[in-house]
Amino acid sequence: MLPSITFLDLETTGATPLKDRITEIALVRFDGGVETARWQTLVNPQMDIPPFIQSLTGINNAMVEHAPLFSEVASQLLAFLDGTVLAAHNVRFDHGFLKTEFKRLGINLQQKVLCTVKLSRLLYPQHFSHGIDAIVARHNIVGIARHRAMGDVEAVLRMLEDARQELGEAAVQSAAQKLMAAPVLPAHIDAGLIGELPETPGVYLFYGEHDVPLFIGKGTNVRARVLAHFSGTKATARELRLAQEIRRFEWIPTAGELSALLLETRLLRQHKPLYNRQLTRERQLFSWRLDPLAQPQVSLVAAGDIDPSQMGRLFGTFKTKQQATEALRKIADRNQLCLRLLGLEGGAGGPCVAFQLKRCKGACCGQEPATIHSLRLQQALVAHKLSPWPYPGKIGIEEYNLENDLRQIHVFEHWAYVGVADNDDDLQALRAQTSTLTFELETYKLLLKVLPQKKTRVLNLAP
């Protein structure tokens, strides 16, 4: 399939590389299409195996008590992986555990990888599921130890053997080579850094000559997003120029998609990279504030004067005064509201021009009580009303990522972003913080979208 490929599977104490450990390793290596090595070993994880994992894999604490430590088999494992492509079912999981284990030994594992889940999808696109259980059922595989490392390796090998017979060797090779096709990196990019890119959420930054910020992006899979910039597929002239100007890049891991978005927004404002569409605060944002007892009954409020705690009295978000005024005129016209009481027409006493044209019900000349006009105005503005803050005080939105073991809590109050906490001390500081809140339209819109989602974990931080 490839000149040299090693199919590997791990059993572990859990799903988090930074907390959990390997309990079993199995691999089969092929060189030139011929099996050249087959190896398996239990590994002492130096921690208890949870009961659920014991029942799932059949590997218990007694079985690994006298097994070698990972450090004792590391050199042998490296020899098996030398000069070969590491293939695994959901390789991101196995590769992540191996990288973490080797990192504990001061070794930076750099390995080309191939995901056999993706390979199965390419070979059998007509099927929906491509997990090991689905493969075992689809290919009628029997006689393997499911949820043991070598058993799962053998399941993948049997699937590939069936694919060769059903689809042909050329089809299997073509699919594997398609997955292995690497983007062509400019000569000045350190290819070694590519191997370090995480397949987890985060933000990445591209720099040019003299460390000039060129581009800042985000993604739920940082590695995939960065590599996409160098793929050249359907790239515009601007994107190709960016790829050639990059001299180095760095990344910041986050706990999730929301964390990445908020960090990206902050970094864009801080660095103003050349190739990003500049994100600007809505400094010219305007909204109408309703006060039924005042004259006029509505007043235009600029962004800097918006009090986030009074959002329930605000209607509409407009980029200019002209846009806000035109919108209010249309509302008044549709609902026969008095332009004079809205402050859109001058004069005092007597009927307004709109009343003479039968477009006003006469609040300006006593034909309609001002209280009734005020109620009709409120009703007409309902569709444009900004949502009041639905909590008694500060809240935190928590994100946690099992793969990189990151927990971040983003604190908000009255639709304004207060800050991010990476630990309990930071959270308490943000909880006690008192400062002037600044309304930002993009934060308001983001929370309106995020808060109703079932997956969003909201913490009430009110005293």
34-42 and 248-253: which strand pairing?
Answer: unpaired
How do the pLDDT tens digits run along the chain, 463 residues long? 789 999 999 999 998 888 899 999 999 999 999 999 999 999 999 999 999 999 999 999 999 999 999 999 999 999 999 999 999 999 988 998 999 999 999 998 888 899 999 999 999 999 999 999 999 999 999 988 888 999 999 999 999 999 999 999 999 999 999 888 766 677 777 766 776 788 889 999 999 999 999 999 999 999 889 988 887 655 688 888 888 899 889 999 999 999 999 999 999 989 999 998 765 544 568 999 988 788 888 999 987 788 887 787 899 989 899 999 999 999 999 999 998 889 888 777 778 888 888 889 988 888 999 889 989 999 999 999 999 899 999 999 999 988 788 999 999 998 999 999 999 999 999 999 887 788 888 899 999 999 999 999 999 998 7
pTM above 0.85, yes or no: no
**Residue written as tokens 């003479």?**
356
Task: Let me know: does 184 contact 229? Beta carbons within 8 Å.
Answer: no
The phi and psi torsions of 332 (rounded to 5 degrees) equal -65, -40
Cβ atoms < 10 Å from Cβ of 166: 12
Q: Please give the DSSP secondary-structure letter assigned to residue 283.
A: T
Whole-number Cα distances in Å, 358 to 130, 180, 334, 369, 377 = 69, 73, 12, 17, 17
